[in-house]
Amino acid sequence: MSLDRIDIHPTHRYGDFKLRSGKPFPFGATLVPGGVNFSIFSSHAVSCSLVLFEKHAREPFTEIPFPDEFRIGNVYSMVVFDLDYENLEYGYRMDGPNNFSQGHWFDPSKILLDPYAKNIGGRDVWKVAPDWSNPYQHRGRIAFDDFDWEDDRPLEIPPEDQIIYEMHVRSFTCDPSSGVKENHRGTFAGIQDKIAYLKELGVNAIELMPIYEFDEFENSRPNPETGELLLNYWGYSTVGFFAPKAGYAATGKFGMQIDEFKNLVKELHKNGIEVILDVVFNHTAEGNEKGPTISFRGIDNKTYYMLTPEGYYFNFSGTGNTLNCNNPIVRGMVLDCLRYWAAEYHIDGFRFDLAAILGRDPWGAPLANPPLLESLAFDPILAKCKLIAEAWDAGGLYQVGSFPAFGRWAEWNGKYRDSLRKFLKGDGNVGDVAQRLQGSPDLYATSGRSPATSINFITCHDGFTLMDLVSYNHKHNEANGEGNNDGSNDNDSWNCGWEGPTDDPGINALRRRQIKNAIALLMVSQGVPMLLMGDEMGRTQQGNNNTYCHDNALNWLDWTLLTKEKDIFQFVQHCIAFRKAHPVLRNPDHFRNCDYLGIGYPDISWHGSRAWYVDWASSHHLAFMLSGQHAKQGQQPDDDLYVAINMHWQACWFELPQPTKGKQWHLFANTGVPSPQDSYNPGTEPPLENPQGCLLGGSSRFCVISLTYRGSINLCVLCVFVVPSTRSPERMYLRIHFAHQT
Instruction: Write out the catalytic residue numbers.
Output: 353, 390
Omega before 108 within 30 of 0, i.e. cis: no
Q: Which amino acid is it at 693?
A: G
Measuring CA to CA, which residue among 645, 619, 653 is closest to residue 704? Answer: 645
**Phi, psi at residue 304, to the nearest 5°?**
-80, -25
Q: Which residues pair with 695 in a beta bridge?
A: 653
Residues 6+ apart with CB under 8 A from 291: 285, 297, 320, 321
Strands 119-121 and 386-389: unpaired
**Phi, psi at residue 475, to the nearest 5°?**
-70, 155
Counting every residue, how long is the chain? 742
Q: Are 268 and 275 within 8 A, CB to CB?
A: yes
Name the DSSP letter for residue 67. P
Strands 238-244 and 212-214: antiparallel
Measuring CA to CA, which residue among 49, 105, 25 is closest to residue 333? Answer: 25
Specify the DSSP element, H or E, that contains 507: helix 505-523
Q: Which residues pair with 18 in a beta bridge?
A: 13
- One-character DSSP codes across 364-381: SPBPSS-HHHHHHHH-ST
Q: Are 672 and 701 within 8 A, CB to CB?
A: yes
Specify the DSSP element, H or E, that contains 198: helix 195-201
Specify the DSSP element, H or E, that contains 643: strand 640-646
- How many CA atoms lie less than 13 Å away from 112 in the CB half-sphere? 29
Residues 6+ apart with CB under 8 A from 6: none
Q: How large is the C-alpha radius of gyration of the chain?
A: 28
* 724 Ramachandran zone, left/alpha/beta (phi>0; psi -120 to 50): beta
Measuring CA to CA, which residue among 690, 675, 682, 669 is closest to residue 713? Answer: 682
Measuring CA to CA, which residue among 439, 485, 440, 488 is closest to residue 462? Answer: 488
Q: What is the largest CA-CA distance in the chain?
A: 99
Alpha-carbon distances, residue 523 vs 199, 427, 517, 577, 583 (angstroms):
17, 21, 10, 10, 12
Measuring CA to CA, which residue among 240, 217, 297 is closest to residue 89? Answer: 240
686: helix, coil or strand? coil
Measuring CA to CA, which residue among 443, 460, 351 is closest to residue 400? Answer: 443
Q: How far apart are CA 47 and CA 65, in angstroms?
A: 8
